[in-house]
């Protein structure tokens, strides 16, 4: 599933392509996608495919295509403070992006069938919190993952504002999924080969919208052959934030406001300098021709005639690009984490500084 947009060389280029193809349509979703590097959720030996618009599966580990996640994020209509349930949470990639939008007072739960994938997701979450350059730009709603079959969620669990299911849902389980929603909530799931958005408009009222055709592996049915008993999945309790956490959120928010005010006064009119984006080089697609001759195979790469006509233009474009970039051969300085610098400059004990920085490594 996927292949709707061109491959990117890095995460930002992948997002540029998704925006150009209208899969990412809102600024909030774009910010979340740029903040969480898709490549970080791949095993090292498969990272070459991380920025292609393709699904990836290795053993039990699975990632949907970026275009699918884009449509899901847009359809969920996420807002700060909402509660979110991810059924088939996998690597935690989607849950982490959602957590950046939900903010510190949201709820972010995931249910994953395979225990090894749950552990993988926890490792990736820890890596994101400790090393991501983007983490300090947000107040994060950290996901909590549990292992179990999402068709066996305890009936006494709370209902959620937003629910996503990452596996094909059979028609017989549609009502089960709907009952996980609060009134006013949104459910997004693959139903009968269509990515479907269902909004609960009342206790027994629903609005359904088909988004796009998809192909997902079906939900795995519960297996009670061994014990004959159901293994109910108990979701994490919705707990009130501790006083410590509330203090950290308030302090970080105050420091961010101070940094913003300093930036405005420094720039005079409050307008930030235009960020410099790296120049993207347009690639011309070429056809690969395979010739069979005397039971031997010869593969050759030939240009489309129209490409040949434009060849000189391409060369001129590339030369012009290079000339434009020569005066500024110096690469842009790495982004400065002003929040981190400000916290480290405070007259506080080191353990308290590190606590405010979530014990991050960068």
Tell me if 256 sits within 8 A of 262, measured CB to CB. no
CA 139 to chain centre: 16
Supply the mean pLDDT for the chain: 84
Q: What is the pLDDT of residue 297?
A: 41
- Partners of 285 in beta bridges: none
d(CA 131, CA 331): 22
Domain spans of the chain, in order of start? 11-221+232-239, 240-263+339-361
CATH topology for the 11-221+232-239 domain: Rossmann fold (3.40.50)
d(CA 54, CA 3): 6
Q: Which residue shows structure tokens 């979110």? A: 84
| Residue 306 falls in the annotated catalytic set | no
Tell me if 321 sits within 8 A of 281, measured CB to CB. yes
Q: Where are the beta strands (DSSP E) in the chain?
A: 56-58, 61-63, 83-87, 107-112, 144-147, 160-165, 181-191, 194-202, 205-213, 287-293, 296-302
Summarised one tens digit per residue, pLDDT across range 293-314 is: 344 444 434 344 444 455 555 5
pTM: 0.79
HEC assignment per residue over 202-245: ECCEEEEEEEEECCCCECCCCCCCCCCCCCCECCCCCCCCCHHH
Is the confidence at residue 188, as pLDDT, over 70? Answer: yes
| CB neighbour list of residue 149: distance below 8 Å, 6 or more residues apart | 111, 113, 220, 222, 231, 233
**For 2, which DSSP code?**
B
Summarised one tens digit per residue, pLDDT across range 105-124 is: 999 999 999 999 999 999 99
Name the active-site residue from 6, 64, 115, 300. 64
Angle at 215 between CA 83 and CA 219, to 5 degrees: 55
Is the confidence at residue 17, as pLDDT, over 90? Answer: yes
d(CA 178, CA 198): 8
Is the confidence at residue 275, as pLDDT, over 80? Answer: no
């Amino acid at each position: 599933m996927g292949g709707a947009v061109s491959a990117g060389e890095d995460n930002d280029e992948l997002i540029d392509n998704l925006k150009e193809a209208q899969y990412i349509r809102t600024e909030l979703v774009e910010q979340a996608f740029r903040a969480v590097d898709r490549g970080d959720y791949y095993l090292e030996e498969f990272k070459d495919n991380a920025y292609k618009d393709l699904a990836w599966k290795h053993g039990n580990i699975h990632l949907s295509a970026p275009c699918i996640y884009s449509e899901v994020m847009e359809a969920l209509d996420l807002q700060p403070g909402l509660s979110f349930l991810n059924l088939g949470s996998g690597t935690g990639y989607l849950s982490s992006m959602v957590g950046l939008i939900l903010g510190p007072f949201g709820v972010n739960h995931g249910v994953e069938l395979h225990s090894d994938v749950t552990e993988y997701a926890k490792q990736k979450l820890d890596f994101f919190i400790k090393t991501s350059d983007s983490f300090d730009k947000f107040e994060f709603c950290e996901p909590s993952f549990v292992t179990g079959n999402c068709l066996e969620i305890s009936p006494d669990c709370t209902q959620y504002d937003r629910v996503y299911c990452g596996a094909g849902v059979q028609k017989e389980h549609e009502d089960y999924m709907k009952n996980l929603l609060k009134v006013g909530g949104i459910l997004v799931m693959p139903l009968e080969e269509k990515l479907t958005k269902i909004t609960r408009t009342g206790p027994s009222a629903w609005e359904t919208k088909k988004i796009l055709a998809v192909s997902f592996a079906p939900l795995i049915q519960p297996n009670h052959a061994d014990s004959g008993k159901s293994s109910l999945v108990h979701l994490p309790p919705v707990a009130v934030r501790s006083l410590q956490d509330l203090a950290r959120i308030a302090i970080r928010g105050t420091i961010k406001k101070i940094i913003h005010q300093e930036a405005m006064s420094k720039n005079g009119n409050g307008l930030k300098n235009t960020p410099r984006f790296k120049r993207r080089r347009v690639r011309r697609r070429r056809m690969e021709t395979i010739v069979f001759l005397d039971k031997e195979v010869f593969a050759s790469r030939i240009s489309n005639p129209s490409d040949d006509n434009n060849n000189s233009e391409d060369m001129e474009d590339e030369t012009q690009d290079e000339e434009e970039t020569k005066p500024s051969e110096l690469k842009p300085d790495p982004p400065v984490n002003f929040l981190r610098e400000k916290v480290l400059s405070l007259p506080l004990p080191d353990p308290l500084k590190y606590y405010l920085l979530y014990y991050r490594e960068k």
